Amino acid sequence: MNKKQKKLLKRIVAALVLFFAVMALDKTGALEAVFGARGAVYASFALYLAPYLIAGHDVLLKAWRNARHGEAFDESLLMSIATLGAFAMVLFPDSDPHMAEGAAVMLFYQVGELFQSYAVGKSRKSIAAMMDIASDYANIERDGELVQVDPDEVAVGDIIVIKPGERVPIDGVVVDGASQLDTAALTGESMPRHVETGAEVISGCINMTGVLRVRTLKPFGASTVSRILELVENASEKKARTENFITRFARVYTPAVTFAALAIAVIPPLLGMGAWSDWILRGLTFLVVSCPCALVISVPLSFFGGIGGASRLGILVKGSNYLETLSRVDTVVFDKTGTLTDGTFDVTAVHACDGFDADTVLETAAYAEAFSDHPIAASVKRAFALPIDRSRIGEAAEESGHGVSATIDGRAVLVGNDRLMAAHDIACGACDLAGTVLNVAADGRLIGRIVIADTVKDDAEQAIRNLRAAGVERCVMLTGDRADVAQAVADQVGVDEVHAQLLPADKVEEVERIMDTVRENLAFVGDGINDAPVLTRADVGIAMGAMGSDAAIEAADIVLMDDKPSNIARAIRIARKTMAIVWQNIVFAIGVKVLILVLAALGIANMWLAVFGDVGVAVIAILNAMRAMNVKKI
């Protein structure tokens, strides 16, 4: 609890002790014995007024201040009128005293306010855990010593030193050292990430083992941690339609019930339908019940809890409106490269021709590609995994984008596509292997083929299954890759449709075409860099694997900080759980209030039932809203 909450708790405890002491004197007849029957009424008035003012003086002041500024119709005004009215019933000698009810209403209203404050504080802590990822300083070496400076003072290109246990303050690239990085605060992933010279590091991670020297790539204000904090801070500004409806509803509802209570208190007795005291009490009871705090507090708290819970899993939602839209997604469209696949090339198969073996084919290709830094060459050398003796290599050259040629151990070697083979009159025949196929030839003869493909992520297939389990009806994959490669990935992961050989503009057109057939909402999932136009066009844009990607954070509505497609289903389940809680609270709060309002108008509900109709409903709704923060089992 913070200081304000502790102070309110002390006031409530003191008021409760005094309240029950006065109630004991009142109910045991002690006051009547001392002051007489009529004097006991005024004595209890004065005694109950003490706990009432201790607990609720700030509510009365708030109602007065708001009324002076033209913002009278809120729960403070309703509570003030209802409770002061209950005390004012002492002016009607023919009615039973209601000071105890007046004091109780204010006391339990403040209990509800304390509970609400605690719930909001707990929800804010889940956001604060995400916000506590920025380092307060950066280490810069000056005159042989480390000096701590404000991260804002570090220029792009400066070398900073990150010691074990410290957070990475600014995005950069490691120039010296090796270590393990804890990325849990950003991704929700507990597995440390190994970094060494040449590896990029992003701000917000914790350096766990070795000392790192990092050259900064961005100013502090543009680094990943700053962008994330800005995103989280602004999330509350984008309200869901349900949240906006509740706000508009309260603006109309509160003055309406205030005048309705006034009508109940005044019109019937003017028409001779009963005593003034009876109808005034009904009007006051009506006011207590009608307080809309259960709705006004629990609905935003539910959204806040959902966004905070998601952030702990590395799922950043830019606003409750996106959470609401995500809850109604029935179609998910994926980009292939970097989303369902790793986005890096790997050798998936080596096929040797008769008279040769796979090891010879791979070794020959690796030596031919030894001087190339092309991603395909890198994948071949990575698969070979042995040191290359460059003395065995004679001349080596690129062959106009079709491959490479080299002399290895005096043999003429060619590695490349079918066009390269055709240009050198080497017969290679048709190949139906899915992926990028490298033909390997030596001395004018094909010796084998190497298949290179973008490998499917470990959890991609499970991600599609999880989406179906979460209620998604249709999964589609879009890619600029060849149709056969795309279909192989689609068959492996289990998507319903695949559209290949698409340019970025074609992807936008395809998504728009699919949106015309969607029953509710469409979510597009991409890497956030090449797919920015589609992320913006979809009902919900989800960028994944977006650590450090400015384009992802800008274009997407939801950012998954890790590289796991399985978290898409988790995000949808969080959104649907949050919306279920929101509607549970709306139906429960309105249902109970309408019932007790009718009973109050008919004179059946007393002030004690009104207390439950207000404070009880609010506490139950807040407790329910707090469930949105629990995402451990989602």
Q: Which of 74, 171, 335, 527 is catalytic?
A: 335
For residue 446, give the H/E element and its range.
Answer: strand 445-456
d(C-alpha 531, C-alpha 593), whole Å: 48
CB atoms within 10 A of CB 152: 12
Closest CA to 481 of 461, 501, 504, 495: 501
Helix axes 293-312, 566-601, angle to 10 degrees: 170
| Single-letter amino acid code for the residue at 86 | A
d(C-alpha 168, C-alpha 207), whole Å: 7
On whether the CB atoms of residues 449 and 438 are closer than 8 A, the answer is yes
d(C-alpha 136, C-alpha 133), whole Å: 10
Q: DSSP 3-state assignment of 93?
A: coil
Six-digit token string for 627: 């469930």
CB atoms within 10 A of CB 240: 23
d(C-alpha 592, C-alpha 619), whole Å: 13
On whether the CB atoms of residues 174 and 196 are closer than 8 A, the answer is yes
| Dihedral in degrees, nearest 10, Cα atoms 173, 179, 182, 186 | 10
- What are the two backbone dihedrals, phi and then psi, of residue 517, each rounded to the nearest 5 degrees? -105, 0
Six-digit token string for 600: 């109050």
d(C-alpha 58, C-alpha 117), whole Å: 15
Query: CA distances (Å), 319 to each of 102, 297, 500, in order?
Result: 40, 17, 33
On whether the CB atoms of residues 307 and 488 are closer than 8 A, the answer is no
- What are the two backbone dihedrals, phi and then psi, of residue 75, each rounded to the nearest 5 degrees? -65, -30
d(C-alpha 104, C-alpha 608), whole Å: 8
d(C-alpha 173, C-alpha 142), whole Å: 20
Q: Based on the residue annotation, tell me whether 563 is a catalytic residue of this protein.
A: no
d(C-alpha 94, C-alpha 91), whole Å: 9
Strand order in the sheet with 179-182: 193-195, 179-182, 206-207
HEC-encoded secondary structure of 475-539:
EEEECCCCHHHHHHHHHHHCCCEEECCCCHHHHHHHHHHHHCCCCCEEEEEECCCCCHHHHHHCC
d(C-alpha 191, C-alpha 180), whole Å: 10
Closest CA to 601 of 375, 288, 161, 330: 288
Q: Give the catalytic positions in this structure.
A: 335
